Amino acid sequence: MHDLVVNELEEHLAGTASMEFHAHLAACPACRTEVESIAQVSQLLAELRSDTEMAPSPYFYTRVAASIVEHQNTDHWGLLAPGAAFFRRVAFASLVVLACLGSYLVMREGDVSGMSVTRGTDAAAVIAQHDVTDDHAASSDRNLMLVTLASYGE
Amino acid sequence: MDYENTPEGSLVRRAQAGDESAFQEIVERYQSKVFSIIHGIVRQRNDVEDIAQQVFTKIYFSMRNFDFRSSLITWVYKITVNECFDYLRKKKVRKLVYESDMSEDEVRRVENSETGSGRTVRADTALARRDYVVKLLERVSSEERDLLMLKEVEGYSVEEMARRLKMNENTIKVKLFRARQKLVKASQRLDRAPSRG
């Protein structure tokens, strides 16, 4: 569809399109066909205009106010509302899963601490083997240090 | 003109702050218009007030979201049209569920009386034409539907729509053009659809 038609279609439907627009439609069969289809379908939209004046009842605002209060009461119940049983079950299940996960993490931390104590003991045991009052060669100190470091690494 | 600083703008501000008398004034100001819009689309007198009640309830709870980008009546119009099409969509679903309990003859009788198929909808009755148009409008987006209805049902000019919606005139023209093209395509598809029964 040519730009001229897009730009002036609304004017055409209102009956105020330019001479240039009409000349283009006369010369362009594709645009002419499409504009005719659009005009035909667009006219149908007038069917949605109400031909009857409907006056609201005198109690209409009271009904609206009652509807608003009803919606507000439903919101205030929140998760405690009888209709929220499913969400209560989901919340309970989530708590159980969290409790199990928490227990597992606490148990794992206990194992890790145990291992650290064991390492510490090993290193402490090696160091304790070294008697600082003994006369010994500096090289043996070096060797002992290397053994200590190697043991600590394991 | 800055809409927010108009008398209606200050009425909206009061309603947003929780002033019930301001909200009541809004209801009384627009209830006739809302009834008229609903009746134009739905045509069931018994349902018009029910839908209008839902419209104003929705307006009450959405009032804080109104950002003055359009005029209040334009915003109310959009909510009203959307509620109508939601109502029609739910009614169609309920009808399909109800039909499953009916015999074939009974279903055909109901469909013929309500002009349910694409071919039979194009009968020369006002109700059939209205049903047909509603079917077409269900196939465009809600924004396009609002633009088309403001233009063709409410009779606003492009300039007026640009002012009310705070959009550029060319943007509105392009959006309207695309929406109208979609209506034509929907119309061609509906006309080609085989009739039921």
Cβ–Cβ gap A63/B53 under 8 Å: yes
| Domains of chain A by residue range | 3-46, 83-119
Chain B residue whose CA is closest to A55:
B32
Matching CATH number, B1-101, of 1.10.1740.10, 3.30.2010.20, 3.30.590.10, 2.60.120.380: 1.10.1740.10
Interface test with A, best of B115, B152, B176, B188 (most A CBs within 10 A): B152
CA atoms of B186 and B149, how far apart (whole Å):
17
Query: What is the CB-side half-sphere exposure of residue B75 using CA atoms within 13 A?
Result: 20
pTM of the entire predicted model: 0.67
pLDDT of res. A115: 55
| Neighbouring residues of B16: CB distance < 8 A, sequence distance ≥ 6 | B63, B64, B66
- pLDDT per position as a tens digit, A4-37: 999 999 999 999 999 999 999 999 999 999 999 9
- pLDDT per position as a tens digit, A114-147: 555 555 555 566 666 666 666 555 566 666 666 6
Given a cut of 50, is residue A76 above it in pLDDT? yes
Cβ–Cβ gap A71/B148 under 8 Å: no
Higher-pLDDT residue of A90, A60: A60
CA atoms of A58 and A44, how far apart (whole Å):
34
Please calculate the CA angle B22-B79-B175 and round it to the nearest 5 degrees.
130
Given a cut of 90, is residue B94 above it in pLDDT? no
Within 10 Å of residue A143's Cβ, how many Cβ atoms?
Answer: 12
Higher-pLDDT residue of B137, A86: B137
Which chain A positions have a beta carbon within 8 Å of B157's beta carbon? 14
CA atoms of B152 and B140, how far apart (whole Å):
15
Cβ–Cβ gap A50/B57 under 8 Å: no
Instruction: Tell me the average pLDDT across B73-80.
Output: 94
Which chain A positions have a beta carbon within 8 Å of B149's beta carbon? 45, 48
Given a cut of 50, is residue B197 above it in pLDDT? no
DSSP string of A111-128?
Answer: HHHHHHHHHHHHHHHHHH
Which chain A positions have a beta carbon within 8 Å of B153's beta carbon? 45-46, 48-49
CATH architecture under which domain B121-197 falls = Orthogonal Bundle (1.10)
Give the model's confidence band at B101: pLDDT under 50 very low, under 70 low, under 90 confident, else very high. Answer: low
Total CB pairs under 8 A between chain A and B: 103
pLDDT of res. B57: 96
Given a cut of 80, is residue B73 above it in pLDDT? yes
Interface test with A, best of B20, B21, B42, B181 (most A CBs within 10 A): B181
Cβ–Cβ gap B173/A10 under 8 Å: yes
Cβ–Cβ gap B36/A47 under 8 Å: no
- pLDDT per position as a tens digit, B32-49: 999 999 999 998 888 999
Decide if B186 contacts B136 (C-beta within 8 A): yes
Instruction: Tell me the average pLDDT across B2-31.
Output: 91
Cβ–Cβ gap A63/B40 under 8 Å: no
CA atoms of A54 and A63, how far apart (whole Å):
17
What backbone torsions phi and psi does residue A54 show, to the nearest 5 degrees?
-110, 120
Within 10 Å of residue A100's Cβ, how many Cβ atoms?
Answer: 10
| Mean pLDDT of chain B, nearest integer | 84
| Domains of chain B by residue range | 1-101, 121-197
Chain A closest-CA separation from residue B52 CA (Å): 9
Q: How much is the ipTM here?
A: 0.74
Which segments of chain A does DSSP mark as H helices, in order?
A: 3-13, 19-27, 29-44, 60-77, 85-129, 138-153
Interface test with B, best of A64, A67, A69 (most B CBs within 10 A): A64
Q: Letter for the amino acid at A68?
A: I
Decide if A52 contacts B39 (C-beta within 8 A): yes
pLDDT of res. B120: 43
Measured in residues, chain B has a length of 197
